[in-house]
Structures are given as C-alpha cells and as structure tokens.
Structure 1
Amino acid sequence: MRVSSAQLGQYVLKGLDRQGTEYAKVMEQMSSGYRITKPSDDPLGTVTLLGLKSEQGSLDQYRTNIGNVSSRLEKAESYLDSSYQVMLRVQDLTLSGTNGAATDADRLAYAGELQSLRDTLLDFANAQDEEGHYLFGGSQVDKPPLVDNGSGTLVYQGDSLGRQVQVAKGVSMDANETVQNIYFAGGNNFFADLDGFIQQLQTPGASVSASGAAMLGRIDGAITGINRSLTDIGGRLSSLHSLDTAQQDLGLANDKVIGQIQDLDYAAAADKVNQIQLTLTATQKTYSQLSQLSLFDYL
C-alpha cells in the first residue's frame, strides 16, 4: 500500500501532538512534584493513595485523642498524688489527736489543720482541666463532683461511668476519673466522718478514741482508693504511650509508601524531558522536509 505525502504529514502531526501532550504532562509533574496529577495517570495508585491518606487522617485523629486523654489523665494523676500526700498528713494528725496525752489545746490545733486539709482535699476532688471540665465526676464533667447538700454535708453528684474516647482502631479509653470509690466507698462518706471527727476534737474533754479509730479506718480506705486510682491511671497512660508510638511508626511507614507512589522522580522526569525534546526536534525536522516535497520529487 502506497502512503501519500498528505498521510505522512498527518502521521507526523499526530506524533508531534502526542509528544507535545507528553511533554506538557511531564512539565506539570515537575511543577507539582507529584507523579500522579490526576486519577487517570495511575488509577490503581490513586485508589491506594486514597486509602492510605484516609488511614493517615484517622491516625492523626487518634493521636490527637491520645494527647487529649493523656493530658487529662496526667492532671488527674497529679491531683491524686497531691491528695495522697495530704491524706498522709490527715492520718498523722488523726493519730496525734487520738493520743490520750493530747491536751484540749493540742486537739484544737489539730482540728484547725485538719479543717484546712479537708478543704484542700475538696478542692482537689473538684479540680478542672483547662477547658473547665471536672476531672473526678465520672461522665458528669460539667458540674463539680462534691457539693454541699444544704445542711453542711458534702455529697457526690457525679457517677461511676467512663467517657470513652477512641484512641486507636477498635480501641477506646476512659478519659475521666471518679472520687466516688475513694471518699464514698461502701456507702461511707469520708468528708462527713472527717467533719464529725474535727468537731469532736474541737469539743473540750470529749472522748475521741472510738471516733479516732473509726476515722483511721476511713483514712486507710481512702488511701487504698487513691492508690488504686493511681495504678489504674498509670496503666492507661502507659497503654496510651505505646499506642501513640505504634501509630506514629505506622504513620511514618504510610508516608513512605505515599511518597513512593505519589512523588515524582525528578532525575527520571528530566531524562524523559530530554528524550521528548530530542524526539520533537527529529519529528519537526521530518515534517519540515515533507512539507517541502512536491509532486516532481516522486516522479
């Protein structure tokens, strides 16, 4: 089959158009720094990228949640640790006040310090985070856990429920604490018992041996509750740290794969540009020669 000069010209023009399109594509890639600038560049790679980037978004949210929960738990841990130290002093003063050798003046001094420590424990129990949410009321974060019931007795108005926050795929963590099992375990009311003991210490000549012994038992129970909460928080913080590290590592691995799929190899792209330019030059030269042919060149 004989090919006319017109057909040859069309073939050359199509080649020029194809090479020009390829050149523009490579230049767009070099400008953006990405190998894939539109889904049609690599459909399978595009789908993979969408999945990886979605996972990266989830990992970022989980790590944000981990940071928020960790911050809240660390604050709770700090207040509980301070409460533990205060409770040890309450224990010492209760022992001293129960001692038969203590005078009424001694007991009055002990009562004054115990009252101050009692108020400190109350402040710690009603502690808030930087957003104004209460740390120790269970899921009731918008109201103080301990309040006066109107007759001078402190009562717990929180609950024992956990506020679950997702910190990894399929993993949730309690972001809150409660003082219910510290000060109100077994139906007891630590603050009511302490208030009663303080009142007895303030009463001249009152016998405090029985109430002192009972108070020491309440203090032991509160200390046990604080230690239990501290252990639980420590375990959660350790788990959160491990999850954060694992998700950071996974995120870095995903970033590497995303880069391998998405990022442009500049050296290879520059080499391709040179090849296209050489081909364009040769094609243009061929087209120029064809356009100068006449019918007499074929005779």
Structure 2
Amino acid sequence: MRITNGYFSNTMLHSLQKSNGKVADLMAQINSGYRVQRPSDDPIAAVQLLLIDRDQTMLGQYRDNIGSLSLRMQQNELRLDSMLKNVHSAHDMMVWAADGTNAPGDLNAMAITLRTLRDNLLTEANATDGEGRYLFSGTKSDTPAISYDPDAPPGSRYSFSGNTDKQQVVVGQGVTESANVSADGMEDMLNQLDAALALLEDPDVNVNDPATRAQLVECLEAMNDGIGTISSKIAMLGGAQNTLELMDDHHASMEVANGQAAQMIGELDFVEAYDRLNSYVVAVQASYQVYGRIMQLSPFDAILR
C-alpha cells in the first residue's frame, strides 16, 4: 500500500507537536518546581492540593481575625486598667474623706479631686476606637456605654445605655471569641460617687452626720464592687488573649504542615524530570532528522539505480 506524502507529513507533524507539547509541559514543571500544573496531570493530587489551598486560606483568615481581635482586646484592657486605677484612687480618697476629723474645707478640696476621677471614669467607659465605635457598649457600638442626664438628681444621673450582647469573631473551625467587654455595672458606682460628691461639696458638710456617713459607706461599697467587676473583666480579657495566642500558634503549625503536605503531593522530582526532558528532546531531534531525510527520498532514486 502506498502512503501519500501528505498523510505521512500530517502524521509526523502531529507526532512532533505532541512531543513538543510534552517538552513544554516538562519545562513548565521544572520552572515552577511542581509536577501538577493542571488537573489532568494528576486528578487525585489536584483535588488534594485544592483542599489544602482552601484550608490555607481559612487558616490565613483565622489568623487575621486573631490579630485584629488581639489588638482590640489589648486596647480594651488598657482602658479597663485605667478605669481600675481611677476607681482605686477614688476609693482611697473616699476612705480619707470618711475620717471623722476632716473639716468642711478639707472635704470640699477632696471633692474637687473626686469629681475629676468621676469624669475620668465616664470618659474611659465611653471610649471609642479609631473608627468612632464605642468599646464598652456591647453590640450597640454606635451608642455611648454610659448616658448622663444632668437634669436628674444626684445618684440617678448615670445609666447604662449599651447592652451585654457579645460581638463574636470566628478564630477557628467552629470556634468563636467575644470581641467586646461591656461597661455594665459602672453606672451604679458613678451614681454613688455622684451622690457622695453632692454632699462633700456642701460648704457646711459634716462627715459625722449619720446621713452623710451612710452615703459615704454606700459609695465605698459600690467602689469595692466596681473594683471586683473591673478586675474580673481584665482577668477575662487576659485569659481570652492567652487562648488566642494558643490558637494562633496552632494555626501557624497547621500552615507549616499544609505547606509540607502540598510539597510532598505536588513537588517535582527534578532528576526524573530532567531525564524525561532529555529523552523527549533527543526523540524530537531524531524525528526531525528522520522526517527531513525521508522527505528527500523519491521512488525515482530506486528506478535510476
């Protein structure tokens, strides 16, 4: 059977194109260091690599969330620590004021310091972040945590206007952590301090008067409760930050493990790849030489001989 030149040429060109394609694929694998360039190279490995990549993306998001949450917790902790220092200072001042030997002028002078401490507490309770959101209002971050009504009588001017709902942030597979701390309970301490101030600012205040002394004692009790409440919130934040640090370390380890797994699944054996590349190059070169030689042949050469 006679094979036409056209058929032979098409067959050889198709074979050469296929071999050149394999050479190009090997070059791409060598340049990237990975043997799986597309799903058809290894369908099972391709699926495994996709799953690992998805897991890496999720881990990266978890770590970003943890980083942002840790910064916010540190900010909250600094504010609460400042509140605690102010409450301790006010408590010490109130203990001093409760001393029955103080003259009215001394108590009036103490009231000036106590008023400053009270105002500082209100400022800290209504602190905002860089975007103007209130830190201690629960999920009502657009509302001040503590409201002040100047028209109300002393002892009832302050109220908690936020809520105690939690802003949950995903930090792991099925794991969330609260992003906020509420200032609930601060209003009681502020009201008691405000009521005590109304008495201490009176030019004729008598600390040994039973009503005055009862108010001072009630204020001290409220401050003791406030110290306990704020301390527990700080402790809770410290525990949460320790948990976040452990979670972040775990995610970092998982990222390293996933990277190693991806390398094991998709990495290229360079020795084997270069060996195959050399074989294809030699085969292509030989095919070109054979093709060129055959195309130079003619039936008339045999007849003439």
Task: Specify whether residues 5 and 205 from structure 1 end up closer, same or farther in structure 2 by C-alpha distance, changes over 3 A only.
Answer: closer
Which of 175, 183, 187 aligns to 2:186? It is 183
CA distance in 1, matches of 2:30, 2:2: 39
| Higher relative contact order, chain-length normalized (CA < 8 Å, sep 6+) | 1
Matched residue, 2:200 = 201
Letter in structure 1 aligned against 2:200: L
Three-state SS of the structure 1 residue aligned to 2:163 is coil
Task: Note the alpha carbon deviations across 1:208-237, whole angstroms, 9 max, x for none.
Answer: 322221111111100000111111111111
Which of 152, 165, 187 aligns to 1:161? It is 165
Identity of aligned residues (%): 29
CA distance in 2, matches of 1:149, 1:109: 25
CA distance in 2, matches of 1:3, 1:254: 59
Letter in structure 1 aligned against 2:24: A
Three-state SS of the structure 2 residue aligned to 1:142 is coil
1:63-212 equivalences in 2 (<5 Å): 63-152=63-152, 153-180=157-184, 182-184=185-187, 189-203=188-202, 204-206=204-206, 207=209, 208-212=212-216
Moved more, 236-245 or 263-272: 263-272
Task: Specify whether residues 39 and 3 from structure 1 end up closer, same or farther in structure 2 by C-alpha distance, changes over 3 A only.
Answer: farther
Q: Displacement of 1:98 after TM fit?
A: 0.6
Task: Note the alpha carbon deviations across 1:167-201, whole angstroms, 9 max, x for none.
Answer: 11100111011111x425xxxx2111111101111
Q: Displacement of 1:49 after TM fit?
A: 1.7
Provide the aligned length of Structure 1 versus Structure 2: 293
CA distance in 2, matches of 1:150, 1:123: 16
CA contact (8 A) 1:128 1:134 kept: yes
CA distance in 2, matches of 1:297, 1:18: 33
Task: Note the alpha carbon deviations across 1:70-109, whole angstroms, 9 max, x for none.
Answer: 1111111111111111111111100111101111111011
1:20 aligns with 2:23: no
Q: Displacement of 1:245 after TM fit?
A: 1.0
Three-state SS of the structure 2 residue aligned to 1:167 is strand
CA contact (8 A) 1:9 1:290 kept: no
1:272 aligns with 2:276: yes
Task: Specify whether residues 276 and 147 from structure 1 end up closer, same or farther in structure 2 by C-alpha distance, changes over 3 A only.
Answer: same
Give the RMSD, CA atoms, in angstroms: 2.5
1:21-40 equivalences in 2 (<5 Å): 21-40=21-40
Matched residue, 2:249 = 245
Matched residue, 1:230 = 234
Q: Displacement of 1:31 after TM fit?
A: 4.7
Task: Specify whether residues 165 and 257 from structure 1 end up closer, same or farther in structure 2 by C-alpha distance, changes over 3 A only.
Answer: same
1:49-64 equivalences in 2 (<5 Å): 49-64=49-64
CA contact (8 A) 1:5 1:290 kept: no
Q: Displacement of 1:9 after TM fit?
A: 7.2
Task: Note the alpha carbon deviations across 1:103-138, whole angstroms, 9 max, x for none.
Answer: 111101110000000000111101111222111111
Letter in structure 1 aligned against 2:158: L
CA distance in 1, matches of 2:130, 2:8: 77
CA contact (8 A) 2:199 2:205 kept: no
CA contact (8 A) 1:94 1:212 kept: yes
Letter in structure 1 aligned against 2:183: V
What residue ranges of structure 1 are gaps of 5+ in the alignment?
none
Letter in structure 2 aligned against 1:112: I
CA distance in 2, matches of 1:251, 1:77: 30
CA contact (8 A) 2:35 2:268 kept: yes
**TM-score normalised by length of structure 1:** 0.88
1:283 aligns with 2:282: no
CA distance in 1, matches of 2:205, 2:19: 107
Q: Displacement of 1:292 after TM fit?
A: 4.3
**TM-score normalised by length of structure 2:** 0.86
What residue ranges of structure 2 are gaps of 5+ in the alignment?
none
CA contact (8 A) 1:137 1:159 kept: yes
Moved more, 254-263 or 130-139: 254-263
